[in-house]
Amino acid sequence: MHRENLELLDDSLGIKILIQDYKAYGVEFIRDGKKFKATASREVVISGGSINSPQMLILSGIGPKEHLNELDISVIQDLPVGKNLYDHQIYMAYLLSHGLLTVASAFTVDGYESLKKKDFVQMTEENWQAISKPLAGKYMLGVFPILLHPKSKGTIKLKTKDLLDFSLLDSNCYSDNNSEDMKEMLSAIKDVFRISKTPAFQSIDSKYVSDPLPACSKYKHLSDNYWRCALKQLTYPSLHPVGTCKMGPKSDKTAIVDNKLKVHGISELRVADASIIPVTLAAHTTAASYMVGEKASDLIRKEH
């Protein structure tokens, strides 16, 4: 790219927004192990994504007052950054079959055979063996119920003030007051079994073969109570997080940015990424993130 008004720096990590008198005037970043500062003549736009953008805001003193005080970070603006984490929730269920629609162990294809990959999804060894052992070396059909619009909300907090420390993510699955998320996923599990019993799927000998989860052994296998237990054991976030810098009017006490993506109470600062999306989408977040970027560019060009 050959543009006089654009410079891209690779291998760089933004660590702090420079703010004076409630006005953003630049950023601090790390590159090649060294700290640098870049100042802005007009405004600062943060696009770190649903995990890094809230981390950067909190490190800069923009976040929940009580959390900033815990970290001994000076409070510049008390906003509920990171308190509105939404993500699609996925449960791993497998049917055993042969012929069309099947592949040799999806575990091998997905790379879950290694210990590191098992640890990646934080699954206990006992649960892992119950799921994987009956499927080893067999052709299988994988079915993954996904809850697209969970009512449960999670949080993102900082572990320490160390800019290179990973944030603390709590997806808080199945925490909604009326247990609607659990009811939806239980219904999805039943739909999987109903579909597996149709003539089309029975023609390829579709059936569920995983062993009972040891953690749910006190419940009758495949009963509603068993599945409620299993769902709590093996539901994971789908890595489609949104809402951690939620967009909304100033009257919305859960909002971080307004409809022009400007951070409430801080001038010359915008957030433009999936973190501003206030609710979960019935799709992957990539296209919506492109849309946010395009809209941000239109807003900036119109204003400047």
Q: What is the pLDDT of residues 218-262, one digit of tens each?
A: 999 999 999 999 999 999 898 899 999 999 999 999 999 999 999
Provide, rounded to the nearest whole percent, the portion of the chain with pLDDT above 70. Answer: 90
Q: Where are the alpha helices (DSSP H) in 104-252?
A: 106-110, 115-120, 125-132, 180-196, 199-202, 224-234
Look at residue 47 in the predicted model and tell me its pLDDT: 96
Q: Which of 193, 213, 237 is the last residue of a domain?
A: 237
Do 120 and 227 belong to one domain?
A: yes
Domain count across the chain? 2
Residue that finishes a domain, picked among 237, 271, 295: 237
CB 101 within 8 Å of CB 141: yes
- Note whether residue 7 is domain-resident: no
* Cβ contacts of 28 within 8 Å, gap of 6 or more: 14, 15, 16, 17, 18, 35, 36, 37
**Domain housing 192:** 89-154+169-237
197/123 same-domain check = yes
Q: Are 31 and 257 in contact (CB under 8 A)?
A: no
31's enclosing H/E stretch is: strand 23-31
**Which of the four pLDDT bands, split at 50, 70 and 90, describes residue 163?**
confident
- Closest Cα to residue 70, out of 82, 81, 58? 58
Q: Are residues 97 and 221 in the same domain?
A: yes
* 216, two tokens: 């749910």
Task: Pull the structure tokens for residue 167.
Answer: 């944030």
The amino acid occupying position 130 is A
Asked if residue 93 has pLDDT above 80, the reply is: no
Tell whether 224 and 102 lie within a shared domain: yes
Confidence check: pLDDT of 137 > 60: yes
Same domain, 135 and 182: yes
Same-domain pairing of 227 and 247: no
Residue 170 belongs to what H/E stretch?
strand 168-170
Residue at 48 is within a domain: yes
Q: Are residues 66 and 131 in the same domain?
A: no
Mean pLDDT computed over 152-156: 96
Long-range contact set of residues 124-127: C-beta below 8 Å, sequence gap at least 24: 124/215, 126/213, 126/214, 126/215, 127/213, 127/214, 127/215, 127/233, 127/234
Q: How many CB atoms lie within 10 A of CB 101?
A: 15
pLDDT at 105 over 50: no
- What CATH number is given to the structural domain containing 29? 3.50.50.60
> Could you say which of 237, 268, 285 is where a domain stops?
237
In a domain, 107, yes or no: yes
Report whether 207 contacts 222 (CB < 8 A). no
Rounded Cα–Cα distance for residues 280 and 271 (Å): 18
Clarify whether residues 176 and 199 are in a common domain: yes
Asked if the structure places residue 130 within a domain, the reply is yes
Stretch among 57-71, 74-88, 155-169 having the lowest mean pLDDT: 155-169
Q: Is a pLDDT exceeding 70 seen at residue 202?
A: yes
Decide if 2 is inside a domain.
no
Domain assignment of residue 5, yes or no: no
Q: Are residues 101 and 192 in the same domain?
A: yes
Which residue would you say has higher pLDDT here, 65 or 95?
A: 65
Q: Which residue type is seen at 159?
A: K
Q: Are residues 31 and 46 in the same domain?
A: yes
Indicate the pTM of the whole model. 0.87
Confidence tier at 80 by pLDDT (50, 70, 90): very high
**pLDDT attached to residue 124:** 84
| Residue 4 located in a structural domain | no
Q: What percent of the chain has pLDDT over 90?
A: 68
Provide Rg for the chain, Cα atoms. Answer: 23
In this structure, the answer to whether residues 103 and 199 fall within a common structural domain is yes
Q: Do residues 180 and 113 both lie within one domain?
A: yes
**In-domain check, residue 3:** no
Is residue 293's pLDDT more than 50? yes
Mean of per-residue pLDDT scores for the chain: 88
